[in-house]
Amino acid sequence: MIVSPCISICKSDPVTDFCYGCARNSEEKLQWKDKNTSDNWKLKNLTEIKSRMKGWKLESFEKSYNYKCKHGISLEKKRKMELND
């Protein structure tokens, strides 16, 4: 199973339609939710969305995505949970 690239910063640019958090467009988000989408497509899409990011944005995404893969929760969700404690 390939973990969704959503890192809980869900707001899309009105011009490009790319999410500020994960750099996916609306169509790609729907494709990720489709149970028939192959892991091969998801891996290719992960490479594609990372190619849209540069510098600190890419570093921040990779840090949060890797944390999510390891712990099951994005750094942003973790931060929000800690604020509510």
Which band of pLDDT confidence, cut at 50, 70 and 90, is reported for residue 85?
A: confident
Please give the full DSSP string across 1-49, using - where no structure is assigned.
-PPP---S---B-TTT--BTTT---HHHHHHHH-TT--HHHHHHHHHHH
Determine what percent of the chain is predicted with pLDDT higher than 70. Answer: 100
Q: How many domains is the chain partitioned into structurally?
A: 1
| Residue 72, pLDDT score | 96
pLDDT, mean over the chain: 96
Structural domain including 33 reads: 1-85
Residues 37-72: tens digit of each pLDDT: 999 999 999 999 999 999 999 999 999 999 999 999
Beta bridge partners of 12: 19
Q: Please state the rounded mean pLDDT for residues 16-35.
A: 97
DSSP class of 34: -
Which one has a higher pLDDT value, 21 or 85? 21
